[in-house]
A and B are shown apart, each in its own frame.
Chain A
Amino acid sequence: MRFITGFLVLPVTLYLIYVIAPYVQAFYIALTDWRGVNASPRFVGLENFQRLFGDGIWWKAVSHNLILLVLLPIIVLVIALFFAFLLNAGGDRGGVAGSKVYRVVFFFPQVLAVAVVAVLFQQVLRPDKSGMLNAPLISLGMEPIGFLSDTRVALWSILGVLVWQAVGFYVVLFSAGIGSIPRDLFEAAAIDGASRPALFFRVTLPLLWDTIQVAWIYLGILALDIFAIVWVMTAEHGGPDFSTTVMAAEIYRNAFEYFKFGYASAMGVVLFFFTIGFAILSLRLSRRERIELS
């Protein structure tokens, strides 16, 4: 028993002080009007949540998160499954020639910090001829695209960069999944004359279902937790004109630029319920469709 407490006391203490205590406090702070570093908080009940309801910028942030929550997982999963299938040529270990090289390169963006990727793409997406993507457009005589300066385009640029960074990870993840499917299954299907699309939809996809489900939840949470890419890459941290702002950016802005601690915590609570709600919902929905083969 002394050994057990001895081993647990440090990790548990650290965890209680830095993780559990802040989370518990956050729920209470969300019910106060705490503003400014030295002010003392006053209990106001659900007032912050009422104000959030009428806050246009917050709704913008929520809607952006929801758009990304729907699109990011779908786009990344489709691209990653496609490439994973090509790389493994329907379950064969070797896959296409050079599949190792592809896998290594595809994974590159995953090892880079999001903040670094954000600065990199800020340069790539510049609106004039110094931008990597706009330079060829201009020399072809076309109008340059304001990837980050046009309010109608900026959010899609964010989505593009997120996809660019995420795909490689899921290609590797799905490749590992496909690699663990017994080869005889593919061979049997091939002998029965299954075409490659049939192989993919009838064999690979059902057997990868568990991995896809995990990937879906990871990507959904990634979409809800977007911060660095928006904060670093966009003008005015979520601009122009709040066209790219997200929940996490508003939480940070309200807490550490406006010092509205109560209001920011209420935002945090809403984000928390979005996260939990999403996780529960996707587990429920996907379990019903699950196919048992093994």
Chain B
Amino acid sequence: MTTTTSPAIATSRKQARRDRRRRLGPLGVLSHVALAFWTVLVIVPILWTFLASFKTEDEIFGDAWSLPATPRWDNFARAWEQAHIGQYMLNSVIVVFFSTFGTMLLGSMAAYVLARYPFRGNRAVYLLFVSGLAFPVYLALTPLFFVVQNMGTLPLIGPFIGLNTHGGLVLVYIAYSLPFTVFFLAAFFRTLPTAVAEAAFVDGASHSRVFFQIMLPMARPGLVSITIFNVIGQWNQYQLPLVLLTSARDKWVLTQGIAEISTAAGYDADWAALFAALTLAILPMLVVYTVFQRQIQSGLTAGALK
């Protein structure tokens, strides 16, 4: 049946769309002008940076809109090696991998229990987590610095989670990502049907088994959204590493590395390498985003739509 009706529907849709276009007329053209204007506004600074990363120092300080005479690929080599962009990027990957994994594991565990198990104090614990959304992180900076410093003096694990360690930063990222993750996932777990879990309990499955083998797979769409949210948020974080990794340059994350080249270097800075470093920081993000744009858009806007 569908095969016979669908062409008719398709033509009527096409017709309708054409009608609408005609009706929009000059307004439609104006829409495109406005939209194209913003597109240019967004893309040109980024493309200009890409272009500058192929220039020599003299070309960069010459006319901003000139093209490079020959593409200088060595700018990228210097950014990667001498400006340590390769190292910083690796650090960012390591930190974000562990912190997002930890955030998702601990966040979904807490959210699941709070959403599905009524017990005394449930509401209080939930509100404790959610209240974290109301506090500006700047209020906590000083005490947080000393908390992490003190954690560093603990026996055995201290050296891995103190100041200037990736472990310390990972734990802080997890803790500060919990409020939103718990808030979002608790709401999500509440919407899931209970029948499957109950059937599993009847079959003798344990609580944790039901969580890991039934509830988590069922919560996949919510987990994907919030994972993307956390990956991007933690990848782009600048304030916390600035405070917690100050004196260990080899531990720095990418945002710190990029900011450092431009702020500290001053007059004898390697500007060509700076542009190359910027390109190296921007391009992968845009490629990944373009490939996963649907998931990323819905992941980042998920919080605001709830």
Contact = CB atoms under 8 A, between A and B. Distances in A.
Interface string A138-149: 010000000000
Contacts of A47: none
A218 B256 CA distance: 25
Contacts of A115: 236, 238, 255-256, 258-259
A23 B42 contact: no
A25 interface: yes
Contacts of A58: none
Interface residues of B, number: 101
Contacts of B300: 110, 169
Interface string A258-280: 00010011001101100110010
Contact of B42 (A92, A109, A121): A109
Nearest to B182: A11
A116 interface: yes
Given A4-B119, A7-B110, A22-B147, A135 B236 contact: no
B39 A271 contact: no
A269 B151 CA distance: 25
Contact of A113 (B145, B151, B235): B235
Interface string A19-51: 111110110010000000000000000000000
Given A4-B113, A232-B259, A29 B178 contact: no
A202 interface: no
A256 B232 CA distance: 26
Interface residues of A, number: 97
Interface stretch (B3-11, B60-68, B75-83, B219-227): B60-68
A272 B282 contact: no
A268 B259 CA distance: 24
Contacts of A224: 136
B289 A111 contact: yes
Interface string A115-154: 1101111111010011110111001000000000000000
Contact of B31 (A96, A169, A247): A96
A112 B112 contact: no
Contact of B263 (A120, A232, A261, A276): A232
B109 A214 contact: no
Contacts of B293: 104, 107
B97 interface: no
Contacts, number: 278
A272 B139 CA distance: 7
Interface in B205-223: 206-208, 211
Contact of A102 (B39, B117, B182): B39
B156 interface: no
Interface of B: 17, 20, 24, 27-28, 31-32, 34-35, 38-39, 41-46, 48-49, 52, 60-65, 106-107, 109-110, 112-114, 117, 119, 125, 128-129, 132, 134-145, 147-148, 151, 171-172, 174-176, 178-179, 182, 206-208, 211, 232, 235-239, 242-243, 246, 254-256, 258-259, 261-263, 274-275, 278, 281-282, 285-286, 288-290, 293, 296-298, 300-301, 304-305
Given A15-B175, A130-B61, A256-B243, 17 more contacts: A1-B119, A7-B211, A8-B110, A12-B128, A19-B140, A20-B128, A29-B142, A104-B290, A110-B300, A111-B296, A126-B64, A168-B42, A176-B305, A228-B238, A232-B238, A232-B262, A265-B143
